[in-house]
Amino acid sequence: MNPKDVIKLDVPLFIRLLEYAREDAKDDMDLHRITENIIDLSRTGEVLGMIDYNTILGPSEDLQERYQLQRRAGIIK
């Protein structure tokens, strides 16, 4: 398990998230939403990569679907 509020991103994802923050985010709430999504996805302690990008930017329903798949696969409890 991952310590609270610790995230691990690979460099390509980090750069793309900076680009999103500069070019595409409409307001601070967008940044808060993706930050919460990143923190939630980081619960497993795995390094997040570009494969996680759409889930990070997506609605919370995408996160819930991913959690269900991870639980079924035994990745998280």
24-52 pLDDT, tens per residue? 999 999 999 899 889 888 888 889 999 99
pLDDT at 18 over 70: yes
In a domain, residue 5? The reply is: no
Q: Please tell me the total count of domains within the chain.
A: 1
Domain annotation covers residue 4: no
| 14: pLDDT strictly greater than 90 | yes
CA angle (28, 59, 55) in 5-degree steps: 100
User: Which ranges of the chain would DSSP assign to H, the alpha helix?
Assistant: 11-23, 28-41, 53-57, 60-73
Q: Which amino acid is at 32?
A: H
In-domain check, residue 17? yes
DSSP 8-class letter at 2: P
Domain extent at residue 51: 11-73
Q: What is the per-residue burial (b if ≥16 Cβ within 10 Å, else e) of 31-50? A: eebbeebbeebbeeeeebee
Residue 47 lies in a domain: yes
